[in-house]
Structures are given as C-alpha cells and as structure tokens.
Amino acid sequence: MSEPKRQQQAMIRNFSIIAHIDHGKSTLADRILEYTGALSNREKQEQFLDSMDLERERGITIKLQSVRLPYRAKDGKEYILNLIDTPGHVDFSYEVSRSLAACEGALLVVDASQGVEAQTLANVYLALDNDLEILPVINKVDLPSAEPERVREEIEEVIGLDASEAVMASAKAGIGTEEILEKIVNEIPPPEGDPDSPLKALIYDSIYDAYRGVITYIRVVDGSIKKGMKIRMMATGKEFEVTEVGVFAPGPIRREELTVGEVGFMVASIKNVKDTRVGDTITDAVHPASEPLPGYQPINPMVFSGMYPVNSADYGDLREALEKLELNDASLRYEPETSGALGFGFRCGFLGLLHMEIIQERIEREFGIPLITTAPSVIFHVYKTDGTRVEIENPTHMPPQQEIENVEEPYVQAAIMVPNDFVGAVMELCQSKRGNYRDMQYLDANRVNIVYDLPLAEIVYDFFDQLKSGTKGYASFDYELIGYKSSNLVKMDILLNGEPVDALSFIVHRDKAYHRGRALVEKLKELIPRQMFEVPVQATIGNKVVARETIRAQRKNVLAKCYGGDISRKRKLLEKQKEGKRRMKAVGNVEVPQEAFMAVLQMDDDKK
C-alpha cells in the first residue's frame, strides 16, 4: 500500500532559493516556472512570487508562496519539484528557518558583481543548520561588471562551500536554467520520512482567506494527511477536522491526500492564523506522533510602538484594520492603550522595523486611516528597589527614577559586511551606538565582515539609515538577539507648552541624553508649525530641563485680497490649509503634525 508512495517520494525534490535583495531570486523563480511549463507566458505576471503590491514595490517577500513543478529530467524520469519561497528580511528570520526546514536543498544565488552579502550569509547558515544541500548559482554573469571567478572564490572562502560546480547563470537572459534544474534533481536528496508512521507535517506559513478560513502551508514529513482527518496542532493542542488538502501548481489544486515529502496546503475551518503557528507540527489526533518536529519557537515581537488614528473617530476602524491584518499575520500583537496626548490607540508589537513599517503602510493605504505612529521602542527589564521586575515596552510606563534599581536592555549581535573603505565608518558608527566590538574577518582583499554587539534600542533608532548613508549603501547587515544587559538608561520626557507629551517620551542612555534631547527639541521646533501663541519645547529628565527651544508665535494669517473672481482660487488655498490641519493632532492647545511623533528617529545627533 505504501509502495507507490515510496516511489513517488523518491521523485520529490524540495528546495528554496536563498538570495540577497536584487540578486535575482524572483527572476530565477520565474525562469524555473516557465521552463517546467508551470507558468505559461500568458498568465505570467512580472514576478510571480512576490504577489502583494507592497512586496513588489519594496522588492521583498512577506507572505510565502510555494509551487509544485513537474520536471522531466535528462534521465527521462518525471520529477516533482517543490519550490518554497523564503522571506527576504532579517525581521523574518524565524520564518526563513522554518521554510528552509521544509526543504532538503537550497539554491544559493549570488550576484556575479556584488558577491556575498550579510543577509545571504545569515540565510546560508540557517540552511546549513537544517542540513540542506546547497547549490551555488552565480547570477547575472552576462553583465559587463560580472566577476564570476572572484565571486566563486568568495563563496568558497566566506561560506566554506565548494563552488567549483557553481552554475553560471543569467536568470534575466534565461542562461543556466536547465543546468540548475538538473542539479536540483541530481544533487538534492529526496525527502526522507516514513509513509506508514503517524502524521507529522511542518507548518511553514498560513494565510487567511475570507471564504475558507485559514489556509495552512505545510510540508508532510511522515505519514499522510487527507480530507476528513482529525488533526492536532502539537504546540497549541488545538484540534480541527481537515476539509481540504491540495498543492499549488501554481494555482491551488485539490488533492485526495498529501503524503510523505509533499508540499501543499491544508484547510480545516481554522478561524485564526494564531492557531496554525509557523514551525508547529500537525499530527493525527487519533494516532498522534510521540514527538513534534524540532525547531518550533513561539514568536515574540521585538519592537513596539503606539499606533493612533489622527482622527479619534477612526479608532473603531483602526481596531478593525488590526483585526483583519492579524488574521493573516501571526506575529502582529496589539492591545488598546491610551495616551494623554494622542487619545485612544493601540500598542503594537512587531518582529522588527520593516514589519512595523509594512503594517503602518498597509493600514494607511489599504484601510485609508491616517495614523500617528510613535517612535519604536524595545522591551526594557526594569528591576525595582522593592525587588520586583517589570517589563517596559512603552517608555511612558517607566517607573520614577528613585524606584529603579537597575535597567536591562536587549542586545543583538550584528554582522555587517562592507567594502574595505568603509571599515572605519562602520566601526565609528557602531561605537557611537554603544556597540562592543567582537570580531572582524577579511572575506577577500576588498571585503570585511565586522561583528559587534549592539543594543537593540540603537538599531531601532536610526542605525539602518546611518549605516546606509555612512557606507553609500554598500553595507549589508544582519543581527540576532543575544540577551539582556544592564545599562545606564534614563527616561526623557518632552514638554510642549509646559505640558508633558507622553507619546514623545523615550528611553535613552544617560551619556547620550543631553545630545539627543537637544537634537529632538530642535527638530520639533522645525516640524511643529507656529501657533497663535509662543510654544516652549523642553526636554527633561526627571524634573531637570536639559534642552529648550521656543516656537515663536504666528502673528497673522489672512488673505489680503479677495474679490469675486478670486473665490475659487482662494477656496483651494483654504482647503489646502485645512487639509494640513486635518493631518495634525491637537496636543493640549498645540497642533502637532504626524511626523513630529517620529522625530526622535530623524536626527543625526551622533554626528556632532
């Protein structure tokens, strides 16, 4: 009975593609789809894998896709290739590791001019952790700037992979596609696993569908899953009845069952993506597996910020928007919070800055709700003098200075790859961001990998922007959380017109407090339009004012001339003025524009 399954199992190859942004992952995926006939030219969208508008605009993958490709190899046999996509950003590295865990092999795509980047390296390590067979592909070899030999050496030296067999490809020009497919068939092992064991299927993503509920993307490791089966999620213990299974080819196609080694989807009237957690194991509720698959971790947001509607009337709509986004995003957290300055809103937790920006942009764009987002913060561990410990994810909740014994903040280990010339700039930046030097390796004559331990709070502050500008965009960057360390941190408050604005409070290292306070009040002076009265802007620690600026009063605002014919034009001017006002939030008597709440991120105080 299981013999046909074993035969099929031998013909399956599960793989993903690891590549840095712009190194050609999506184009290569398109070529493979075309070559195997899974995607006819007619139905071909520019880049199949990145299906959300936002993904395409930013060139990143947020939601994963997979596709099942039939391929008749040169040996005359018919293979089933499953291409599983991986997200392309450090915020989503756990998701990457789970989708890699669903594969036996990976294509490592490296740009023939750019070489290996930090992101790529991080993902290769994840792939090696999962014992994947890695097939190097040097892409864009047809460009004039291509240096495939240098890149080949770099792959060998930096990653320690044998790249002598690397495929020289140009996804754009369609060069090397067949060679890649042959290598997939010949070098990536077929899936192991026992068709007769109790079901174990790995969840590597899920999406919410308004009609069918949650669609869970799975890889069957042992046993098989079919319609009507009672299943259990091993981490959450939740049980469901399977209503549908199928594969993507590339459109969804229903199947009787999914068996060992197969990749596809499963529907089971699940209402919330939080019930199908990435990395969890699905098993048979009646004959459960004894052990889940290794590697599951509950997802914990690392970055927090407040999201408030500009118009308080939009609060209900904002809640609805978050509910809808949450259906599709198991890592998004939110809970209601109230700010003295901003009114009712939500404290939201994200995997990282990009994740935060994506959610913010989707709320504004897809739901049409103008938002005020407060500066991102991390979770601080505060040990109080009374012996208790509190976790602070909103600076406003920081206990008074005299009740604090000690504060710890999260640290990450960051790997930064740059051309030689920028080593000085990067080290200077890391030092200014309170980094501790760990290591430095020369990857080749021109490129260096620099390793620093850095406070996460500094990363979410403006590290990315400064790294980018300090290295002319040549640096690539990756990090992982390494734990908490004690730091001399203080809470800084901002007062507008004498009133503290809770949404502008932030936590900062004492040594940087003065500079940052000064820079922030200057920036706020620039961003907040003049009001009808003078507005002092102060930065304080405890009761001590460390910086002060004054926004001078606006003294008049009137159209000098207005006759009959002018009225249409004047209306336009007045409408513009009114629209500007709509995007502002009244804090006490002061009208504050949206950007001001993010101002703390827009300063380059460390350059002074």
Taking CB under 8 A as the criterion, the residue among 439, 562, 586, 604 binding other proteins is: 562
Burial 153-170 (b: 16+ CB within 10 A, else e): ebbebbbebebeebbbbb
Nearer to other proteins, 290 or 557 (CB): 557
- Residue 164 as a binder of other proteins (CB under 8 A): the answer is no
Nearer to other proteins, 42 or 561 (CB): 561
Tokens of 26: 């999506």
Nearer to other proteins, 437 or 533 (CB): 533
**Residues 518 to 557 in contact with other proteins, rule: CB under 8 A:** 532, 554-557
With a CB cutoff of 8 Å and minimum separation 6, the contacts of 573 are 559
Residue type, 322: L
Question: Cβ 556 to other proteins, closest distance in Å?
Answer: 4
- Residue 211 as a binder of other proteins (CB under 8 A): the answer is no
Question: Distances from the Cα of 116 to the Cαs of 157, 420, 466, in angstroms?
Answer: 10, 14, 22
Q: Binding site annotation covers 545?
A: no
Nearer to other proteins, 42 or 578 (CB): 578
Taking CB under 8 A as the criterion, the residue among 10, 253, 574, 586 binding other proteins is: 574
Nearer to other proteins, 343 or 529 (CB): 529
Question: Cβ 577 to other proteins, closest distance in Å?
Answer: 5
- Residue 313 as a binder of other proteins (CB under 8 A): the answer is no
Contact stretch for other proteins (CB under 8 A) within 85-93, 455-463, 566-574, 596-604: 566-574
104/13 Cα distance (integer angstroms):
7
Q: Binding site annotation covers 26?
A: yes
Q: What DSSP designation does 446 have?
A: S
Question: Cβ 311 to other proteins, closest distance in Å?
Answer: 13
Question: Cβ 380 to other proteins, closest distance in Å?
Answer: 41
Nearer to other proteins, 129 or 575 (CB): 575
Question: Cβ 371 to other proteins, closest distance in Å?
Answer: 21
Q: Binding site annotation covers 311?
A: no
How many residues sit in the footprint of other proteins (CB under 8 A)? 24
Phi, psi of 498 (to 5 degrees): 85, -10
Nearer to other proteins, 510 or 569 (CB): 569
Q: Binding site annotation covers 140?
A: yes
* DSSP characters over 56-123: HHHT---S--EEEEEEE-TTS-EEEEEEE----SGGGHHHHHHHHHT-SEEEEEEETTT---HHHHHH
239/246 Cα distance (integer angstroms):
20
Nearer to other proteins, 485 or 552 (CB): 552
Q: Binding site annotation covers 515?
A: no
Nearer to other proteins, 211 or 563 (CB): 563
Taking CB under 8 A as the criterion, the residue among 230, 365, 510, 581 binding other proteins is: 581
**Three-state SS for 421?**
helix
Phi, psi of 124 (to 5 degrees): -65, -40
Question: Cβ 580 to other proteins, closest distance in Å?
Answer: 9
Q: Please name the residue that has the structure tokens 């009244």.
A: 586
Closest residue by Cα to residue 84 from 122, 118, 42, 132: 132
Closest residue by Cα to residue 112 from 140, 131, 89: 140
Residue type, 582: R
Q: Binding site annotation covers 355?
A: no
Q: Binding site annotation covers 142?
A: yes
Contact stretch for other proteins (CB under 8 A) within 232-240, 316-324, 503-511, 571-579: 571-579
Contact stretch for other proteins (CB under 8 A) within 146-154, 325-333, 437-445, 558-566: 558-566
Using CA atoms in the order 526, 532, 533, 537, what is the torsion angle rounded to 10 degrees? -20
Using CA atoms in the order 445, 451, 456, 461, what is the torsion angle rounded to 10 degrees? -30
Q: Binding site annotation covers 20?
A: no
- Residue 481 as a binder of other proteins (CB under 8 A): the answer is no
Question: Cβ 576 to other proteins, closest distance in Å?
Answer: 9
Contact stretch for other proteins (CB under 8 A) within 116-124, 171-179, 377-385, 572-580: 572-580
139/172 Cα distance (integer angstroms):
9
Question: Cβ 553 to other proteins, closest distance in Å?
Answer: 10
**Residues 218 to 237 in contact with other proteins, rule: CB under 8 A:** none
Q: Binding site annotation covers 314?
A: no
- Residue 560 as a binder of other proteins (CB under 8 A): the answer is yes
488/406 Cα distance (integer angstroms):
8
Taking CB under 8 A as the criterion, the residue among 76, 144, 498, 565 binding other proteins is: 565
Taking CB under 8 A as the criterion, the residue among 287, 389, 510, 571 binding other proteins is: 571
Q: Binding site annotation covers 509?
A: no
Nearer to other proteins, 481 or 532 (CB): 532
- Residue 578 as a binder of other proteins (CB under 8 A): the answer is yes
Residue 218, beta-bridge partner list: 203, 264
Tokens of 82: 């499953």
> Contact 413/452 with Cβ under 8 angstroms?
yes
Nearer to other proteins, 253 or 562 (CB): 562
> Contact 112/130 with Cβ under 8 angstroms?
no
> Contact 235/291 with Cβ under 8 angstroms?
no
- Residue 400 as a binder of other proteins (CB under 8 A): the answer is no
Nearer to other proteins, 468 or 552 (CB): 552
Burial class of residue 107 (count of CB atoms within 10 Å of its CB; 0-12, 13-18, 19+): buried
Residue type, 81: L
84/64 Cα distance (integer angstroms):
8
Closest residue by Cα to residue 407 from 457, 366, 368, 373: 457
- Residue 563 as a binder of other proteins (CB under 8 A): the answer is yes
- Residue 586 as a binder of other proteins (CB under 8 A): the answer is no
44/36 Cα distance (integer angstroms):
13
Q: Residues forming the annotated binding site for GTP? A: 22-27, 139-142
Residue ranges for the known binding site are: 22-27, 139-142
Question: Which residues are at the interface with other proteins (CB under 8 A)?
Answer: 532, 554-568, 570-571, 573-575, 577-578, 581
